Structure 1
Amino acid sequence: MKSSAQTSRFLFNDTALYPLFEQLRRADSQVVSIFHLGDSHVQAGFLPEAAAAGLKQKFGDAGPGWVLPYNLARTNGPDAYRWSSHIRWSSVRVVERYQVYWPGPGGMTIHTSQVSPSLSCTIKQGSTDNIQIFYDAGTGKAPVQAVGDMEQLTVRIHEDSTAFPENMQQATITADSSIYAFRLSWPQHKGLFRFYGAVLQNGHQGVLYHAIGINGAQFMHYNQHAATLPVQLRILRPQLLILSLGTNEAFGGVTAAQLRQEMDKTMKAVREHAPGAKVLFTTPPYGMKKKRRVAYRKNKRTYYRVTYAANPQVAVLRAEILQYCRDNGYACWDFYDAMRADKRFLRGWSNDKLHFNAYGYTLQGTMLFETIAAAYDDWIKNLTDAFPGKPVERAEIQ
C-alpha cells in the first residue's frame, strides 16, 4: 500500500467525510452503507469489488449488497454473483432513448410475460441470510416463494409500497443460517412481470457496499426519471454516496455548464432524500479516442493500424467536477490525476483505450480504498493527538 501522503494528495475536501469516518469507527457495532453509482466502469464489477474488498477487510463485511441480474439481461456484470433462469428475459435500461416504463432503482430491469416466472442467484463471494427483493407483479400481488440451499425460506411481503413508483413491491426473505444460493418463484403469477434487483446482507456488522453501474450512463440518465435517485436512496440508505460518472459526458459532447446543471440535480435529490449521506465524487479516467485508422498490406493481406489520442473534453469536465466540489464543499478523489501519476495503468487499458482491463479496474478500486483508508487513518491520528488521554478504537489497515 502506498503511503498516506501519496494517496491523500489526490483527495480534496476530505473534511467533508469526517462524519462518515465516525460511522466507520463504529462499524463493529453497526452496518455502514456505501452506495457507488456510475457507468460502465462500475458495471464491470472489478472496480467496486476491489474497493469493497479493502473496506470490508478493514471495517467488517455486512454482505454482498445490491445485486442486479445483468447476465439475464445479456450484458456484462460482476463476477461475485450470477443469476440463472429457465426462461428468457427482456430488459429496459435507463440509458435507452425510448422506454416503455421505468427502468427501476438499479437503472435496469428485466421483464417477462412467462407464466409462473422464477429465477435463481448463486453468490460466489460471500453469503447471505437476509434478502430484500424488489419486483412488480402487477396489481394482483402474486405471492413469492423462496428456496435457499434446498431449504424453504421465510418470506414477508411489505404491504406499504406507496412510496414506490408504478407497482413496485418489496419482500424480505430470511434464512436460519448463511446461504450461498437461492431461488425465487411466483407460481400464481400471469401477465407482465418485472424484476428490479435485490439487497443481500449476512447479519454481520461492517460495510455493506452497493454498486450500480449502467453502460453508457451519465448524470442526466439517473436524473431524467424523477423516481430513480429517490428510490435508490430510500432502499440503500447510504452513509456514503460515491459518484463515478463523467466519461460518457466527455465522449458525448456534454459541456461543463451542462454537467454542472446535472450534478446540481443529482445533489438536490440527495439532499432531499438522504440528507445524512456524505458524498465523494470521483473524476473519470482520461481515456482515449481513435485518431485515425491506417490500412497496410502484409503477406498479401490487409491490416489496420489504429492510433489514439487523448480526449481533451475529459480534462475540461474533470476540472468542472473539481470546481463544483470546491464550490459546494463535497469531497472529490481526482482519479484522473492519480492514474496519470501511476505508471501501472500503462498496462491497465483494454483494447478500446477507453475502458480498463480487469487489472486496471482492480487497481483503480484498490486505489480508491487506499485513498479512503489513508484519510480515515489521518483522521484517527488527529483524533488521538487531540485527546491523548482518551483511548480511540482503530481499525488497522491490513
Structure 2
Amino acid sequence: MNTSKRGRKVMFMLLLWAGCCSTALAQRKFLYNDTALHRFYTLLQQADTQVLSILHLGDSHVQAGFLPDAVAAGLKARFGDAGRGWVFPYNLAGTNGPDGYRWSSNVRWDAERVVDKGNMRMESPGGIVIRTTHPAPSLSFTANPPIPMHTVACFYDGPPVEADGAAVETGDHQAVITMDSTAYSFRLRWPAGVAFYGAVLKNGKPGVLYHAIGVNGAQFSHYNKPGGAVAAQMQALQPQLVIISLGTNEAFGGVTAAQLRSDMETTVAAIREHAPQACILFTTPPSGMMKKRQVAYRKKGSRKVYYRTRYTSNPQVLVIRDAMVRYCRENGFAYWDLYQAMPQDKRFARAWSHDHVHFNAYGYTLQGTLLYEALEAGYTNFNR
C-alpha cells in the first residue's frame, strides 16, 4: 500500500517536473503563457492536410516586411507553404512595403491610412486603402522572385472586377480569382472608379498562410476605430493565430498604462467577436529605443547657434512593456518578450537603424527568426 502511494507520488512528481521543464524551455526563448497557444499547436499538427491562417498585425516594424517574412519563412519551412498571403500596393500608396513584390497601374491613386487624422473609419483589412475615380483603372501584380498562385482573393469597393485569363467569382466587397493554371502574376481591371483594399494569394497547397499587416505610426487605438479594421481582418483572413506587435508608437505618443490596457481590451474583444477560436500572441516593444533631441551650442568666439543631435533613452517604453505583460499575465494571453530578449543577445548591437527606433534589415530578420524559434520551441514542448 505504501509502495503504491510512493509510486503514484513519484509519477506525479515526474509529470510535474516534465511540465516545468517544458515551460522553462519555452521561457528560455522568452515565450510566456504559451499554454494559450495549445489550440494553435494542435492545428500545426494538421498543417500537412489543411491551410493554417496567421495574421501578424503591427506598426512600421511590420510594414517593412523583414520581421514577418522571417517568421513566415521559418514556419513555412517546417509546416508547409500555402501561399504569400496578404499583399497590398504600398508603392502605389506612396509608402514603403515588403521588397518581394510590386504593383503597377495605368492611373494614379489616392491613399488613406488608418492613422490619418480625421479618418474616423477604416473598413480595409490592411489599414490602408487606395482609391481612384478613373473610368477604367487596372492593377498589375508581379513578384521577385516569382510567387506561384492558384487563387487570388481581392478585397475592394466598386464595380465587378475582371482578370486576364482567369475565372472570377464576385461577392460582397470581394472577388475570388481562380487561375487556369499556376500563375506568377496577374492584372485586375474595373470599368469605373474603385477603392482597393488588398488581396490574398494562395497556391492551392496545405501549410501556413502568413498575413503581415502593418501601418507606419499605428497604435492599438487606430485599429480599434469604428468600422473597423480588426473586424475586417478577422472576416477576410479568418486567422487561427493573431500575432500583435504594437506598443512602440504608444511609448512615443504619451499613452498611459491604463489607456494601453483599455485599448488592448478593445482589440481583444473585436478578435473574440469575429474570430472566437483564434489564439492571440502579443509581442512586447523593443528595449533600447531612443528619443532624439536637438541640443543648441555655440562655437568659441562665434554668436551663431549650432545644433547637434543627441539620443536619450525613452523610459516610457518600459512602462508600456510592463503594462502589456501585466495584462497578458492577468488574462492568460501568450506573449513573447522582445524587450527582455534583446539585452541577452549581443547580435542586436548591430541591429539598429540610424534613428535608434527602427531596425535595419538584419535587425528585423533577427527578431523574426527569434520569434519563430520561440514558437517552434513551444510547439516541440507541446508534442513531448
- Equivalent residues, number: 357
Aligned partner of 1:277 in structure 2 is 278
Aligned partner of 2:231 in structure 1 is 230
Aligned partner of 1:361 in structure 2 is 364
* Residue 42 in structure 1 maps to residue 62 in structure 2: yes
- Contact 1:12/1:332 (CA < 8 Å) preserved in 2? yes
- Contact 1:296/1:305 (CA < 8 Å) preserved in 2? no
Change (3 A) 1:100 1:241: closer
CA distance in 1, matches of 2:256, 2:228: 25
CA distance in 1, matches of 2:228, 2:340: 34
Q: Identity of paired residues, percent? A: 56
What secondary structure sits across from 1:243 in the alignment? strand
Deviations 1:282-322 (A, max 9, x none): 0011211114436687xx99986422121100000100110
> 1:206 Cα deviation (Å)?
0.4
Change (3 A) 1:314 1:101: closer
- What is the correspondence of 1:180-219 to structure 2 with a 5 Å cutoff? 180-186=184-190, 188-189=191-192, 192-219=193-220
* Residue 321 in structure 1 maps to residue 339 in structure 2: no
Change (3 A) 1:253 1:154: same
Q: What amino acid maps onto 1:144 in structure 2?
A: V
Give unpaired runs (5+ residues) of structure 2: 1-23
- Contact 1:133/1:198 (CA < 8 Å) preserved in 2? yes
> 1:374 Cα deviation (Å)?
0.9
CA distance in 2, matches of 1:343, 1:357: 15
**Residue of structure 2 aligned with 1:374, choices 350, 363, 377:** 377
Change (3 A) 1:316 1:103: same
> 1:276 Cα deviation (Å)?
0.3
Aligned partner of 1:127 in structure 2 is 148
Change (3 A) 1:38 1:269: same
Deviations 1:258-297 (A, max 9, x none): 0000000011111111110000000011211114436687
Aligned partner of 2:252 in structure 1 is 251
- Contact 2:29/2:373 (CA < 8 Å) preserved in 1? no
Aligned partner of 2:335 in structure 1 is 332
- Contact 1:131/1:172 (CA < 8 Å) preserved in 2? yes
**Residue of structure 2 aligned with 1:352, choices 355, 360, 372:** 355
Aligned partner of 1:172 in structure 2 is 176
**Residue of structure 2 aligned with 1:145, choices 141, 148, 162:** 162
What secondary structure sits across from 2:320 in the alignment? helix
- Contact 1:8/1:374 (CA < 8 Å) preserved in 2? no
CA distance in 2, matches of 1:101, 1:36: 21
Aligned partner of 2:110 in structure 1 is 90
CA distance in 2, matches of 1:362, 1:110: 28
Deviations 1:198-256 (A, max 9, x none): 01000000000001000000000000123321111011111100000000001000000
Change (3 A) 1:306 1:5: farther
CA distance in 2, matches of 1:329, 1:204: 33
Aligned partner of 1:293 in structure 2 is 295
**Residue of structure 2 aligned with 1:157, choices 170, 176, 191:** 170
Aligned partner of 1:387 in structure 2 is none
Give unpaired runs (5+ residues) of structure 1: 162-168, 382-398
Q: What amino acid maps onto 1:290 in structure 2?
A: K
Q: What amino acid maps onto 1:323 in structure 2?
A: R
What secondary structure sits across from 2:383 in the alignment? helix
- Contact 1:294/1:306 (CA < 8 Å) preserved in 2? no
Q: What amino acid maps onto 1:127 in structure 2?
A: P
What secondary structure sits across from 2:266 in the alignment? helix
CA distance in 2, matches of 1:9, 1:228: 31
Change (3 A) 1:10 1:296: farther
- What is the correspondence of 1:22-61 to structure 2 with a 5 Å cutoff? 22-61=42-81
Alignment TM-score, normalising by the size of structure 2: 0.89
Change (3 A) 1:8 1:207: farther
CA distance in 2, matches of 1:364, 1:303: 37
Q: What amino acid maps onto 2:233 in structure 1?
A: Q
- Contact 1:8/1:375 (CA < 8 Å) preserved in 2? no
Aligned partner of 2:124 in structure 1 is 104
Change (3 A) 1:132 1:289: same
Q: What amino acid maps onto 1:289 in structure 2?
A: K
* Residue 117 in structure 1 maps to residue 134 in structure 2: no
Deviations 1:118-174 (A, max 9, x none): 01011225321100001111xxxx332212xxxx1111112xx3xxxxxxx110001
Aligned partner of 1:19 in structure 2 is 39
What secondary structure sits across from 1:314 in the alignment? helix
Change (3 A) 1:238 1:101: closer
> 1:5 Cα deviation (Å)?
3.7
Aligned partner of 1:310 in structure 2 is 313
> 1:379 Cα deviation (Å)?
1.1
Which protein shows a greater Rg? 2
Q: What amino acid maps onto 1:116 in structure 2?
A: A
* Residue 263 in structure 1 maps to residue 260 in structure 2: no
What secondary structure sits across from 2:262 in the alignment? helix
CA distance in 2, matches of 1:15, 1:7: 12
Alignment TM-score, normalising by the size of structure 1: 0.86
More deviation in 27-36 or 302-311? Answer: 302-311
> 1:23 Cα deviation (Å)?
0.3
Deviations 1:52-80 (A, max 9, x none): 00000000000000101111001000112
- Contact 2:123/2:227 (CA < 8 Å) preserved in 1? no
